[in-house]
Structure 1
Amino acid sequence: MASKLRPVGCVAVKKLLGKSAGLSQQQVRTVVHRSLLRLPENYPQPWDYKTKGFNVSDMFNDRTQDHFHANSKLFVVEGNIGSGKSTLAKELAEQLGMLHMPEFKMDDILIDRYGNDMRKFYHLFPERFRIPDVEMFYKNPMSDMSAVMQERIFSCRFDQYLNALAHIMNTGQGVVLERSPYSDFVFTNAMRAKNFIGPEYFSHYYYQRKRALPELNFWPHLVIYLDAPTNTCLQNIKRRGNKGEIACVDETYLKTMEESYKDSLKEYSRHSKLLAYDWTKPGDADVIVEDIERMDLDFFEWHSGEVFEEWKMLIDEIGWAEARHKVTNKHDARINAFDGIDKFEAGELYISPRDAGHWLHVMKTQVLKSPYGYGYNRHLGDEQAGLGIWRTGQTLPEPWYDYWYKEAYYDQAEAQETSLDPDSDSYDPDYVHHHH
């Protein structure tokens, strides 16, 4: 049966989750199948946050709490590589009428709005700017760029989590998310176990994590963990037939992730409800939906612990408007999480000023063929914009971006030589050949 709990290593999942994890103790149904969800006649339309953004002044036109209903929840599906998360997450979202957010992939930020695939320009970029996708990582996991990739992934998982929160607060629709920045460290531990990243970056990562996670504030309502044995994951990976993945993601890598998930689940359990399933053989999503429907994902008492606390602390519309603005705008969250952190001890993250200047020259002369940033290039189809635009934190003509490192970061990238040469007339096409 899919809902049977099984041991993870030497710690039983049920023991790990605590006595409150027993489904038999849950008496009140809150989340329901989408066919049973009933909304009031005056239920508001979703706020078009990707077009309008959301400022605190918008609270007078659209009240956040009016959007919330029984299924306005955030669920996270966790599990080892090859455990079958994607299939289950998609099925749960479909049955519960929630938005499915697949696990972040580097491909999500390597292709811009104009269809430019950054990887096609990597032969012109200095090595430090050739951010690996998963296939590049598998081919050369010992590269210094593995640390750069992991740093970028953590930042993007952070953005994706804000995206999930923004969607719930602006539309009321719940979200089923695959993995989260809270569990991202299981990959960092596995990469360190295989010596794919050095000890300096490893320490930097955990300092960065400690700085960033409090800015998210809201933990998931429910975490669903699929416990697939390492051998099962290895078989699934071999079945996919990717030779690079098979060589890189071996038993040591997967075992380290499995062990790290024990710590992740303990951390989750202080803030979220947990369900864990024996996924040696994939179970039935219908059974998990029934388990979810038996749970009370709304009840909270101040003396009962921290589970749901962040979702219950805000009791008035002003507080919710401020939280909604923070997760929709992203600026304050990212500033507090990522700005001002020294990276000089993590050599893999070092950027030569000359390399940065050359990369910006390539972006202007070869990629965008323009001295202007994203959204302001009429020769690429952009409409005239800019005269009436002012916002904090980024200069895109749109108020919303999915990932900072897709396009929003570009206008804040600086190098002395390009600031003195905005048209990149000094571009040297042989720079990479001469210096690398």
Structure 2
Amino acid sequence: MSTLMKLGVVKVLTNQGQGCKIAACTFVQNRNIAGKSLRSSLPTPPPKPAPFDYVNKDYTWLRSLFDRTTHRFDENSKVVVVEGPVAVGKTKFAAMLAEDLGMKHFPEANMDIHYIRPNGCDLRMFDDQIPEDTRTFDHVNFNLCPNHRLAGNYQIMMYIARYSQYIDALAHLLNTGQGVVLERSPYSDFVFLEAMYKQKYISRAVRQVYYELRAESLEELMRPHLVIYLDLPVPKVQEAIKSRKLDHEVNGRALTTQFLTEIETQYKNKYLRDISTHAELLVVEDIERLNFDQYTEREEPKMKDWRLPREVDWADQRMLYTNQKFFLMNLFGIPKLDVPELLTSADDAYERIKVIESHPKFAYMEGYNEGGTLFKTKMSKYTEYI
């Protein structure tokens, strides 16, 4: 990581020639990513349209006639994903990278997206009042008790959390032109599922459901431009885990040598091999040699998701991630009645709902209170989860 930062992150090739236009699209691919040092040495770029307020407004077909998506793009309008084993330093690296590139940093998705509600309440506070099968279960619980009945449901919900965050990242890029840096993604989430399965933390049936949901949902996303893998041998990972002194990691039963080794195996033998057919895959020292402009042929698999031929195609993708996140998240609403560990009894579910809804903060729907309902015409637009 220090080597990369000494290089200025993106001391990239200085030849900034433009690539070829594709069909009727006005966007011309930029061949490199530019960091602070390079941007400061170049002429001031022409002004771009102001970012679109996608959180509160819909991007409609009519608006797309006047607000072109690619007019906000520049050389840093990219999706960058930082991957690596546990405790390798992804958060610090991704934050520094995003700051240098002028991109938005998305910290790693976690179960907070499911448990912390818009009214500020954390659903974990109800755990001692509700049946065990309906309680929250996050990474802390998993590290301490990886064979728990809820472990399989936890990993599926982690995939959903990463999926939700990735939609947000795509919406941000397409509506603002600002690139994004994420820590892990829904594309790599399966490495944890496979490690859990190999250690018999989850059943074959849960694994099958996971891949059914993955197949149903993943094709709706646009794959990243760049994946940076921070490599660290398992013995060094174990040292890093001990160094950060988190009790649930150090004294938990999940992060065994076999579990960490399987994560590394799945990363290197499966994920990195598969994602490299589309994205650039780099070790940190290689980032200065990026050249995205070499992939312009229609049948070239690399960067295929980002070579849309017409402006209307960009508008369609932008409308999908801006306006229709709710429908994308509904892809996970597939009932699976033959996997017991993914089911909760009706009685237990009722007890949970009764306890939560008795709390004063849950007396009203989000955005509502005891007064002013006459003038309320719509609910919040934004969808975090389902």
TM over 0.5: yes
Could you tell me how far apart the structure 2 residues matched to 1:367 and 1:271 are? 49
Kindly state the Cα deviation for residue 226 of structure 1 after the two structures are TM-superposed: 0.9
Kindly state the Cα deviation for residue 26 of structure 1 after the two structures are TM-superposed: 11
Instruction: Pick from 327, 348, 367 the counterpart of residue 332 of structure 1.
Output: 327
**Structure 1 residues 39, 101: CA separation in 2 closer, same or farther (over 3 Å shift)?**
farther
Other-structure match for 1:52: 57
CA RMSD of aligned residues (A): 2.6
**Structure 1 residues 165, 120: CA separation in 2 closer, same or farther (over 3 Å shift)?**
same
**Structure 1 residues 167, 25: CA separation in 2 closer, same or farther (over 3 Å shift)?**
closer
Residue range with higher mean Cα deviation, 172-181 or 78-87: 78-87
Could you tell me how far apart the structure 1 residues matched to 2:202 and 2:100 are? 40
Cα deviation code 1:2-61 (max 9, x no counterpart) = 779xxxxxxxxxxxxxxxxxx999976521113544664441001111121323332134
Kindly state the Cα deviation for residue 378 of structure 1 after the two structures are TM-superposed: 4.0
Other-structure match for 1:431: none
Other-structure match for 1:274: 281
The answer to whether 1:120 aligns with 2:102 is: no
Q: Is the 8 A contact 1:116 1:367 kept in 2?
A: no
Secondary structure of the corresponding residue to residue 227 of structure 1: coil
The answer to whether 1:134 aligns with 2:139 is: yes
Q: What are the ranges of 5 or more consecutive residues in structure 1 without an aligned counterpart?
A: 5-22, 278-287, 390-396, 410-436
Other-structure match for 1:427: none
The answer to whether 1:374 aligns with 2:360 is: no
Secondary structure of the corresponding residue to residue 43 of structure 1: coil
What is the one-letter code of the residue matched to 2:319?
H
Kindly state the Cα deviation for residue 114 of structure 1 after the two structures are TM-superposed: 2.4
Secondary structure of the corresponding residue to residue 51 of structure 1: coil
Other-structure match for 1:321: 315
Q: What are the ranges of 5 or more consecutive residues in structure 2 without an aligned counterpart?
A: 5-10, 17-30
Could you tell me how far apart the structure 1 residues matched to 2:373 and 2:335 are? 38
Other-structure match for 1:256: 262
Other-structure match for 1:350: 343
Could you tell me how far apart the structure 2 residues matched to 1:202 and 1:100 are? 31
Could you tell me how far apart the structure 1 residues matched to 2:375 and 2:190 are? 40
Q: Using structure 1 for the length normalisation, give the TM-score.
A: 0.76
Instruction: Pick from 99, 105, 121 the counterpart of residue 104 of structure 2.
Output: 99
The answer to whether 1:236 aligns with 2:265 is: no
Identity %: 36
Q: Is the 8 A contact 1:270 1:305 kept in 2?
A: no
Secondary structure of the corresponding residue to residue 182 of structure 1: coil
Could you tell me how far apart the structure 1 residues matched to 2:74 and 2:226 are? 16
Q: Give the 5 Å matches for 1:60-75.
A: 60-75=65-80
Q: Give the 5 Å matches for 1:34-433.
A: 34=36, 36-37=38-39, 40-216=45-221, 218-246=222-250, 247=252, 248-262=254-268, 263-277=270-284, 288=285, 291-302=286-297, 305-312=300-307, 314-329=308-323, 330-335=325-330, 337-339=331-333, 341-366=334-359, 368-370=361-363, 372-378=364-370, 384=373, 387-389=376-378, 397-401=379-383, 403-404=384-385, 409=386
**Structure 1 residues 357, 174: CA separation in 2 closer, same or farther (over 3 Å shift)?**
same
Could you tell me how far apart the structure 1 residues matched to 2:362 and 2:381 are? 24
Q: Using structure 2 for the length normalisation, give the TM-score.
A: 0.85
